[in-house]
Amino acid sequence: MSRTLTQWLAHLEKLHPVAIDLGLERIRIVAERLNLLSVPIAQRVVTVAGTNGKGSTVAMVDAVAQAHGLSTASYSSPHLLRYNERLHLDGNEVSDEALIDAFERIEAVRQDTGLTYFEMGTLAALVIIRDRAPDIAILEVGLGGQLDATNIIDADVGIVTSVALDHADFLGTDIERIGAEKAGILRAGRPAVLGSRQLVASVAAHAESLPVSRCLTLGREFDWQWEASGRWQWQRPNGEGVSLPDPNLPLDNAASALTALDAIGLSLNAEQLEKAFSGIRLSGRMQRIGRYCLDVAHNPHAATYVAAQLARRPATRRVALLGMLGDKDAEGVIEALWPVVDDWLPVTLSGARARQAQTLADIIGARGGQVIAVADSPNEGIDWLEQHSQHDDVLVCGSFFTVAEALARLERGDGFA
């Protein structure tokens, strides 16, 4: 009897003794059995690595390509509400049936090769993409770069969005080594797009050592700037300026997405770009539901961006519903958000890696912050806010887990005043 998708996902969690096991040996063996490495999975492949901004970059590459009439497949992680969110085909979530079929095909050839949950999911996505053979496949690196499961596929253009400290248990704290790891997605003779103004030296050094065909760096070969009208202008590598609507996503990433598509030869049309950037929406990234703003920012670099965006939208009084994992830099995130948050409501997340709400409250209290309540979950935090808070703006952030639980609750809308 065939497993349901829920049953398959439970099965995947048991296939390997550890959740994260960086390295390409195991996945490459199974990929070869699936004939994934013998033919291209798409006409063009864009791979996106970095600490922050990968998801928004993938979404913008996807939207622009679709607006120009190209078929697309985009793979990203993690998901917020449904596993199917990880793979989009022409902008639509992949079906349960397609995922189940792919998992069955992988299991039939896997034999005794142990694969992690992420490796199985990546192989399933690649099988589905290869069978569909879209014009463009966009792959988001899960963790690191060179040793990430997505890196078994050679990218036609590689984008490195940013490099900051995160996932220290797996990547360490040497920022230059982390940069070199993320730059491992780049390929000799193919263009590289480096999408940060503060990119560590090892990324550019790696690109130059390959060498790539063109190294396009934000602030040097391409750039962006605000216009007086509230729109923004992408400054192309050829020096031309293109005026576009604000997608409410990081413009460093928007400019990088456009530069990558330009680098692989897509002829970008002003009318289609206008259409693409007018319609991009990405769950969990500065997402507004009523008075709630949800963002998955979980490290200081991402929190700094959120704070800058909120500073452009002043509130009479703002509270942060903050839930974080124990291995994240809570002090750095709180410091980054401090200028735009008046009051705090720490919440506890579920699972062994969770940080207790009271621990977050102690950090905030030590800085002199106002903790209005603590809650045992994001759900309970929203309950408290709906019953007791008169704040006109609520920021929900700190983790994908925080946003996922809050998003599910807010989309249901139950129990609201």
Query: Taking a C-beta distance cutoff of 8 angstroms, is the pair 189, 214 a contact?
Result: no
Query: What whole-number percentage of the chain has pLDDT above 70?
Result: 95
pLDDT at 139: 98
User: What CATH topology corresponds to 5-279?
Assistant: UDP-N-acetylmuramoyl-L-alanine:D-glutamate ligase (3.40.1190)
Task: Among 3.40.50.880, 3.20.20.30, 3.90.190.20, 3.40.640.10, name the CATH number for the domain at 287-414.
Answer: 3.90.190.20
Quick one: tokens of 145? Answer: 């770069």
Q: State yes or no: pLDDT of 16 exceeds 80.
A: no
Of 3-12, 82-91, 317-326, 350-359, the poorest mean pLDDT is in 350-359
Q: State yes or no: pLDDT of 415 exceeds 50.
A: no
CA–CA separation, 337 vs 329, rounded Å? 13
| Model confidence band, residue 168 (pLDDT cutoffs 50, 70, 90) | low
Give the bridge partners for 344, in sequence order: 320, 371
Q: State yes or no: pLDDT of 289 exceeds 70.
A: yes
pLDDT at 314: 82
Kindly report the number of other CB atoms within 10 A of residue 10's CB atom: 11
Identify which has the larger pLDDT, 259 or 173: 259
Averaged pLDDT for residues 308-320: 92
Averaged pLDDT for residues 119-144: 95
> Across the chain, what does the average pLDDT equal?
92
Give the bridge partners for 287, in sequence order: 294
**pLDDT (tens digit, 9 = 90+) per residue, 375-409?**
999 999 999 999 998 888 999 999 999 999 999 99
| Model confidence band, residue 166 (pLDDT cutoffs 50, 70, 90) | low
> Where does CATH 3.90.190.20 sit in the chain?
287-414
pLDDT at 21: 64
For residue 360, CA distances in Å to 138, 320, 324 come to 37, 12, 8
Q: What's phi and psi for 277, nearest 5 deg?
A: -80, -10
Instruction: Describe the strand order of the beta sheet including 241-244 as a list of residue ranges.
Output: 223-226, 232-235, 241-244
Quick one: tokens of 395? Answer: 């920021």
**pLDDT (tens digit, 9 = 90+) per residue, 106-124?**
999 998 888 999 999 999 9
pLDDT at 40: 95
Please report how many Cα atoms fall inside a 13 Å half-sphere around the Cα of residue 36, on the Cβ side. 27
**pLDDT (tens digit, 9 = 90+) per residue, 177-194?**
888 999 999 999 999 999
Rg, the chain, Cα only: 21
CA–CA separation, 140 vs 206, rounded Å? 20
Kindly report the number of other CB atoms within 10 A of residue 51's CB atom: 22
Query: Taking a C-beta distance cutoff of 8 angstroms, is the pair 60, 257 a contact?
Result: yes
Averaged pLDDT for residues 83-111: 97
Averaged pLDDT for residues 227-233: 94
Q: What is the DSSP letter of 44?
A: E
* Residue owning tokens 């579920």: 350
Q: State yes or no: pLDDT of 287 exceeds 60.
A: yes
pLDDT at 333: 97
pLDDT at 414: 59
Q: State yes or no: pLDDT of 67 exceeds 50.
A: yes
> Where does CATH 3.40.1190.10 sit in the chain?
5-279
Q: State yes or no: pLDDT of 318 exceeds 90.
A: yes
Strand 287-289 versus strand 292-294 pairing type: antiparallel
Contacts (Cβ under 8 Å, ≥6 apart) of 413: none
